[in-house]
Amino acid sequence: MGWYLWQFVLTSLQVVALILTPGRQPKPGIVRMSIDGLSDTEVTVLVVLITITPDTLVIAVDREKDILFVHGMFVDGDSEGFRKSLGQTRDRLLFGVRARPEAERKRGVLA
Amino acid sequence: MSSEMIITVIGSALLIFGAAIIFSAAIGVLKLPDVFTRTSAIGTAAGLGVSLMIVGVVVIDFSVLNLIKGIIAIIAQLITSAIGSFVLARASYMTGSEPVSTTLPDELSHQANAT
Amino acid sequence: MIPDIVAAIVIGLLALSVVFAVIRIWKGPTPGNAAAAGDLIFFAFIGLVAVLGLMLSITAVMDVILIAALLGFLSVLSLARLIQGGKR
C-alpha cells in the first residue's frame, strides 16, 4: 500500500516534469502482459491499479488469450524492463489478495 | 492566531500545487503527440491534482465530517478516473486512432481483434 | 477563508486549463481527443467549485465535490460509447 502510493506520486511528478520540460517528447511503447490464471475480479482490480499510475494505461484486455495490452509513457525501447515492473505490480496485488500465497507460490502460480 | 495562519498557508499551498498540476496537464494536452499520451497526462491531473485540491479544502475547512467526505471523494475520484481513462483509450483505439510513430515497441499493432 | 491572492492564482490557473482544453477540442483530429479534453474540463470544474466554495464559505462544498467525483465518470462512459457508435 505504501509502496503503491509512493509509485503513484513518483510517476505523477515524472509526467509533470516531462510536460514542463520544453522540447522534450515522451518515448512511449505498448507492451503485452500475461494475466494467465487470474480471476475476473483480480483482472479488474489490476486494470484499475495499472491505470491509476499516470504513466501506464491499459488499452485492451483479451480474456480468451489472457493478455493485457499496456501503454507506457517512459518505455524507451526497454520492453523487458517495463514488463518486469508491471509483473511486480501484479504479483504484489496477488500476494495481498490470495488467501494462501505461500502454497500458490510453490505451485508456480505466483512468480 | 498563529496556528490559524499556518493552517491557511498549508491549505493555500496545497490548493495552488493542485491547480498547477491540472494546469500542467492542460499544457500536456496541447503539446503531447497522440491520444494515449494525452490521456496519461489527464490521468495525472485527475489523480494527484484533484486529490491535492481536496486535501487543501479539508485542511482549511477542517471537521471530522469533512475529513470522512474528503477521503471517500479521493478514493472515488481515483477509481472512476482510472476506469474513465481505460474506457476512453479503448474507444479511441477501436475507432482507429493510431499511436504516434515513435511508440516503440508497439506489440498491439499486429493484433487486430483485441476485445 | 482563504486570502484573495490565493483564490486569484488558483482560479487563473484553472481557467487557463479550460481554455487550453477547449483549443484541443477545437483542433482535435479525432473525437477521442475531444472526449479526453472534455474530461480535463470536468476536473478543472471540480477545482473551481472547491475554491469558490471556500471563498464564499459555503458549507456544502465537500458534498458537491463528493457527488461530482462519484458521478463524473458516467459522462466519460457515455462519451466513450458515443465515440464507438454504440458498438461494444
Residues of B in contact with A63 (CB under 8 A): 115
Run of H or E residues at B84: helix B64-94
> What is the full per-residue pLDDT of chain C (88 aa) written as tens digits?
678 888 899 999 999 999 998 998 888 777 888 888 888 888 888 889 888 888 888 888 888 888 888 887 788 888 888 877 766 5
C80 touching B, CB under 8 A? yes
Q: Is the pLDDT of residue A23 over 80?
A: no
Nearest CB partner across the interface for B107, out of A18, A28, A31? A31
CB within 8 Å: A19 and B100: no
Mean pLDDT taken over chain A:
76
- Tell me what pLDDT residue B63 has: 85
Nearest CB partner across the interface for B81, out of C31, C37, C73? C73
Which of B29, B55, B108, B113 is the best residue to mutate to test the A interface, defined by the most A CB atoms within 10 Å of its own CB? B108
Residues of B in contact with C17 (CB under 8 A): 22-23, 25-26, 45
Q: Is the pLDDT of residue B115 over 50?
A: no
C-alpha cell at B66: 469533512
Q: ipTM greater than 0.95, yes or no? A: no
- Tell me what pLDDT residue A110 has: 55
Q: Is residue B115 part of a domain?
A: no
Rounded Cα gap, residues B55 and B36, in angstroms: 28
- Tell me what pLDDT residue B102 has: 59
Q: Is the pLDDT of residue B110 over 70?
A: no
What is the mean pLDDT of the segment spanning B86-113? Answer: 67
Q: Is the pLDDT of residue B36 over 80?
A: yes
B99/C75: higher pLDDT = C75
Helix ranges (H only) for C1-88 are: 4-27, 31-55, 61-84
Residues of B in contact with A29 (CB under 8 A): 103-106
- A48-61 in b/e form (b: 16+ CB < 10 A) is bbbbbbbbbbbbbb
C2/B98: higher pLDDT = C2
B84/B100: higher pLDDT = B84
- Indicate the pLDDT class of residue A53, thresholds 50, 70 and 90: confident
Nearest CB partner across the interface for A62, out of B25, B31, B114? B114
Which residue of C lies nearest to B89 if distances are taken between CA atoms? C32
**Axis crossing angle, helix B35-44 with helix A2-20, rounded to the nearest 10:** 120
The percentage of chain B sitting over the pLDDT mark of 90, rounded to a whole number, equals 2
Residues of B in contact with A68 (CB under 8 A): none
- Tell me what pLDDT residue B90 has: 82
CB within 8 Å: B99 and A75: no
- Tell me what pLDDT residue B107 has: 63
pLDDT in tens, B58-76: 888 888 888 998 899 888 8
Q: Is the peptide bond before B105 cis (omega within 30 degrees of 0)?
A: yes
DSSP, res A55: T
Q: Can chain B be said to touch chain C, i.e. do they have 3 or more Cβ pairs within 8 angstroms?
A: yes
Residues of B in contact with C1 (CB under 8 A): 8, 60
Q: Is residue B9 part of a domain?
A: yes
Residue numbers of the domain that contains B21: 2-94
What is the mean pLDDT of the segment spanning A65-91? Answer: 78
- Tell me what pLDDT residue B48 has: 86
3-state secondary structure of C27: helix
What is the mean pLDDT of the segment spanning A6-31? Answer: 78
Per the structure, the count of domains in chain B is: 1
State the chains in contact with A (3 or more Cβ–Cβ pairs under 8 Å): B
